[in-house]
Structures are given as C-alpha cells and as structure tokens.
C-alpha cells in the first residue's frame, strides 16, 4: 500500500511506520557464574576434569545461545548457569542464574535488563538458595529442594571451590576443619565429660592399695623379730665371748698348714710396739681409747646417728701391730699378723673408764691435755673416756689360720669370715667373725709374765 510516510515490515509480518533501524554492534557482555559444589568428584569440576582427560557430566556444561524447550538442571547448587541471547520461558522458570546483559522473553521485542545480580545460586523465586549441612548428591536436584534434618548456621558465600562434604565443625587457624574427639553440639563445640569424684558409689583408689611388705608382715611375727633383735643387741657380745671361751685350744706342733685354730699363750712385742694414748702404757700390741658423750634434751649430738638420752661415740683410736705368741701346750712361738692393714676383730676388756661432768667438777689436767692434742672441746658436755690395751706379757687367745713358710710359723687372717652358729638355748642368732680374733680380759687385773 502506498503512503507518504515510510513504513517497513517486521519479522512477524506486521507493518510499522518509520524506517528500519540500522543494526548496531552489540556491546559484549560478561557474566559471572557461581561455581557448583563438586563434593570432591573430579568429574564435576569442569575444566579441571578436562585437563586429566576425564569425561565431564554434561548436565553441568555451560551453554551459549538460545536454549530449546529443555529444562536446565545442574548439581547440588540448583543448576547455576550463564547464558547470552534469548532464553525460552521453559528454561527460565527452572534455572537459577545471574546475568549482566539483555534477556529476551517470548516474542517480546526490545530488550530488558535485570537489576538483580547475585554472587551465588538463586532459586526459582530469585532468592538465595539455602545450603544443607550434609553432603549433596551428585545426581539431578531441583533448585528449590531442601534436605530435612539439622541445618548448619548460615555462612557467607565466598565463591571458593572446596572438596569434601560441608561440615559444621570448628576450623583451625589455616581454615581446615579441626579434628576433635567426642560428641559435638550444634555449634561445633566439644563437650567435656563431667567427672564425679564425690560420688559415693565410686571408690577412689590410692597408692596404698599396692603391695607393702611392712603392712603385710604379720604383727605377731614382727613383734617377735623386734624382741629377738633387742635381745641379741644386748647379749650378743657376751655370747661371742662365751663362744671363744668354749672353742678348744690347738697345739702349734700338730697344726696343719691352712688349718683354723685357737692358740692361747703369752704375747711379746714385735718390731713396732704401741703405747696407750691416755695412760701412756708402753710396749703394747693393741690399744683402744674411745670418748663417749651423753646427749640430753638440749645438748649437741656426738655423731649424725646419736639419739637423745643415749651415749654416742665422738672419738675412737684403735690400733694393732704384729706380735708373737707362745703356745702354752707346746711352747712353740708363732708370729701373729695383725699389722699392715690386716683384718682384726678384738674382744678386749677396757681397763679404764672415766666419767667427766664439767658442770659439777673441774676437768683433770691429763684429760684437758688429751682433748687439746685431738682438737676436741668439752662445751659443758657429759663425757666418758674408756681405754683398753694388751701389753707385753699378757695372756691372750688368738683365732686364725696356720701358715708355715720355711721355718717360720705364722697365724694369718682366714680368707672368709667364720660364723658362730645359732645358740638356740640362749636365743642368739649366728654372728660373723672377720679376720684374726683377739680375746683378752682386763690386763690391769691379770698377772703379767715377764718376757
């Protein structure tokens, strides 16, 4: 039809006035797509799967251009996709997407620009899609589907691609889930089991429940052992002296080499005689001088093991040298080796005992001299001095091993200690005698035989 106004026909057959518009170059558009959750499956990771020649799920491929009458559904995030060009209504109603260009709908001419832009997937109503706290399935899931059960607290969408199920557990400093043992509450905090130390139904055990010898030792037996120990402490020395006295004497003439014997006779000094320290008795073969102190409630101890209300040893001088003994029965003389560091067990009675109390009497000049020579102070202490010795010409009993070397007869210490055995009648336990045994009574009371 003719008209003076220019007109043109549209593609749908309608005639409109005006001249057709010249085609313009379309401004290139850029779209951002929220990356779908892969769940650790490399087949759902898109380009990463292609790098390792792994087939990719076709339902998650990105498309460009018109979409025919087919619904577009993707993974667990509701099928997020990016399109450029016209989109059919069938596809627009079932997909959640974000666009940044013109979108055509149906046969409507012109272009429309969406104002909404989301950094994450949207449901069919245009609202952010909620995430479930459990792992998503890899199949086709509608965009608006929600899982039943407890939901994790809403976390801000970061757009990061992670592997593994979404967990509500607490994170450490590096962003990884913290490994905890025990039950967790809904906020991921760890519950510590409460202890019940005050419950009457629970018995709290201690170290005392273990085996203890003292506690398991029978009390009656323990009392008997304590009584036996005290009895032997008091009567032990007298029992040993009685054992030496009962031991039979031997003759040096008939004694064999290596035989343990007891010889009784008169002693004479050897090359090195001794002198007692306090009384200054000359030509001795054995001397012993000891100083004891009594400890009261406020006095000092004489030694580290000194107990109160007892006598404690403060100083001891005991010496022995080689000497000769003449056998009463045979008249032979033997050299007794008690010097040069030999082992000796003396049972010699003390010939002197002096009690000193500085608080009641003055000290004798001899005692003060003896203390000064040994750098000992009195300090108003109650003291007791004892001295014993074996001087030349005294009668002595000697127990040892006979040793014959050429024409020299000697008595030497035994290689092993000897035992006295049990004395059941007196409730005396066995005692050990180490080295040469010397037995001498009070030398001051005995008659000295000149030699």
What's the mean pLDDT in 127-152? 48
> What mean pLDDT do residues 3-24 have?
74
Report the alpha-carbon distance of residue 357 to residue 381 in Å, rounded. Answer: 7
Round the CA-based radius of gyration of the chain to a whole number and report it: 58
Q: For the ranges 119-123, 247-251, 377-381, 437-441, which has the lowest average pLDDT?
A: 119-123
Q: How many residues does the chain have?
A: 451
List, for residues 193-211, the tens digit of each pLDDT value.
Answer: 555 557 778 877 766 556 6
- Alpha-helix runs per DSSP H in 335-448: 365-373
| pLDDT above 70 for 69 | no
Q: What pLDDT score was predicted for residue 139?
A: 43
Q: How far apart are CA 183 and CA 187, in angstroms?
A: 11
Q: Residue 109: what pLDDT? A: 38
Q: What's the pLDDT score for residue 42?
A: 63
pLDDT at residue 4, rounded to an integer: 63
Write the pLDDT tens digit of every residue in 264-303: 999 999 999 999 999 999 999 999 999 999 998 888 899 9
Q: Are 64 and 135 in contact (CB under 8 A)?
A: no
Q: Mean pLDDT over residues 134-150, rounded? A: 46
Query: In the Cβ-directed half-sphere of 22, how many Cα atoms lie within 13 Å?
Result: 2
Tokens of 48: 């990463």
- Are the CB atoms for 60 and 46 separated by under 8 Å? yes
- At 212 the pLDDT is 67
The distance of Cα 41 from the centroid of its chain, to the nearest Å, equals 49
CB 135 within 8 A of CB 120: no
Average pLDDT of the chain? 73
Summarize pLDDT for 335-383 with one digit per residue, the tens: 999 999 999 999 999 999 999 988 888 889 999 999 999 999 877 889 9
How would residue 94 be classed by pLDDT, with cut points 50, 70 and 90? very low
Six token digits for residue 335: 């050299």
> What does the DSSP assignment read for 270-298?
-SS-B--TTT---SEEEEEEEEEEEE-SS
Q: In sequence order, what are the residues at sequence separation of 6 or more whose Cβ sits closer than 8 angstroms to the Cβ of residue 276?
A: 284, 287, 289, 387, 389
**337, 313 in Cβ contact below 8 A?**
no
- Confidence band, pLDDT 50/70/90 cuts, at residue 13: confident
Dihedral sign for Cα atoms in the order 242, 243, 247, 252: negative
Which residues are CB-neighbours of 255 under 8 A, at least 6 positions away? 261, 402
Q: In the prediction, which pLDDT does 130 show?
A: 53
User: In the numeric block, which tokens belong to residue 431?
Assistant: 């005692």
pLDDT in tens, 112-126: 343 444 455 556 555
So what's the pLDDT on residue 395?
Answer: 94
Q: Is the pLDDT of residue 74 over 50?
A: no
Domains, the chain? 232-290+315-350+384-438 (2.40.50)
Closest to 391 in 3D by CA, of 353, 434, 348, 354: 348
Higher pLDDT, 390 or 166: 390
Please report the pLDDT score of residue 132 as a whole number. Answer: 47
Banded model confidence at residue 81, pLDDT cuts 50, 70, 90: very low
Enter the tokens of residue 84. Answer: 């450029």
For the segment 81-94, the average pLDDT, to the nearest whole number, is 42
Q: Round to whole Å and give the CA distance between 310 and 307.
A: 6
Confidence (pLDDT) at 317: 95
Handedness of CA 356, 359, 361, 365 (dihedral sign): positive
Mean pLDDT of 133-144: 44
**Spatial separation of the C-alpha atoms in residues 75 and 47, rounded to whole Å:** 16
Tell me the per-residue pLDDT of 229-245, one tens digit each, with 9 for 90 and over.
899 989 999 999 999 99
């Amino acid at each position: 039809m003719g008209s003076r106004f220019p007109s043109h026909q549209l593609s749908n057959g309608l005639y409109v006035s005006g001249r057709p518009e010249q085609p313009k170059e379309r401004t290139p558009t850029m779209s951002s797509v929220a990356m779908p959750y892969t769940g650790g499956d490399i087949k759902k990771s898109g380009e990463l799967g292609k790098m390792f020649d792994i087939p990719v799920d076709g339902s998650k491929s990105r498309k460009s251009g018109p979409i025919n009458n087919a619904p577009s559904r993707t993974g667990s995030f509701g099928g997020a996709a990016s399109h450029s060009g016209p989109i059919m209504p069938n596809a627009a109603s079932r997909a959640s997407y974000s666009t940044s260009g013109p979108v055509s709908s149906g046969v409507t001419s012109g272009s429309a620009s969406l104002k909404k832009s989301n950094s994450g997937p949207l449901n069919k109503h245009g609202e952010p899609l909620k995430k479930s706290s459990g792992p998503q399935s890899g199949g086709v899931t509608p965009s608006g589907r929600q899982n039943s059960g407890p939901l994790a607290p809403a976390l801000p969408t970061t757009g990061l691609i992670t592997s593994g199920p979404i967990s509500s557990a607490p994170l450490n400093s590096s962003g990884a889930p913290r490994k905890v043992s025990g039950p967790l509450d809904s906020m991921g905090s760890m519950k510590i089991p409460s202890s019940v130390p005050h419950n009457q139904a629970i018995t709290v055990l201690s170290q005392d429940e273990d085996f203890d010898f003292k506690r398991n030792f029978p009390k009656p037996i323990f009392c008997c052992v304590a009584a036996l120990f005290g009895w032997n402490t008091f009567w032990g020395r007298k029992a040993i002296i009685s054992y030496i006295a009962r031991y039979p004497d031997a003759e040096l003439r008939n004694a064999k080499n290596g035989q343990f014997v007891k010889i009784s006779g008169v002693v004479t000094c050897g090359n090195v005689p001794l002198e007692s320290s306090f009384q200054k008795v000359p030509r001795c073969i054995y001397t012993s001088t000891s100083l004891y102190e009594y400890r009261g409630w406020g006095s000092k101890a004489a030694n580290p093991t000194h107990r109160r209300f007892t006598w404690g040893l403060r100083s001891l001088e005991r010496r022995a040298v080689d000497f000769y003994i003449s056998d009463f029965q045979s008249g032979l003389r033997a050299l007794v080796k008690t010097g040069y560091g030999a082992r000796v067990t003396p049972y010699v009675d003390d010939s002197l005992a002096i009690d000193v109390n500085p608080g009641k009497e003055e000290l004798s000049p001899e005692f003060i001299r003896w203390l000064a020579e040994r750098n000992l102070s009195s300090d108003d202490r109650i003291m007791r001095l004892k001295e014993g010795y074996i001087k030349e010409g005294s009668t002595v009993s000697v127990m040892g091993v006979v040793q014959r070397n050429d024409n020299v007869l000697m008595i030497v210490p035994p290689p092993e200690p000897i035992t006295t055995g049990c004395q059941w009648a007196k409730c005396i336990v066995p005692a050990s005698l180490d080295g040469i045994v010397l037995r001498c009574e009070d030398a001051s009371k005995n008659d000295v035989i000149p030699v």
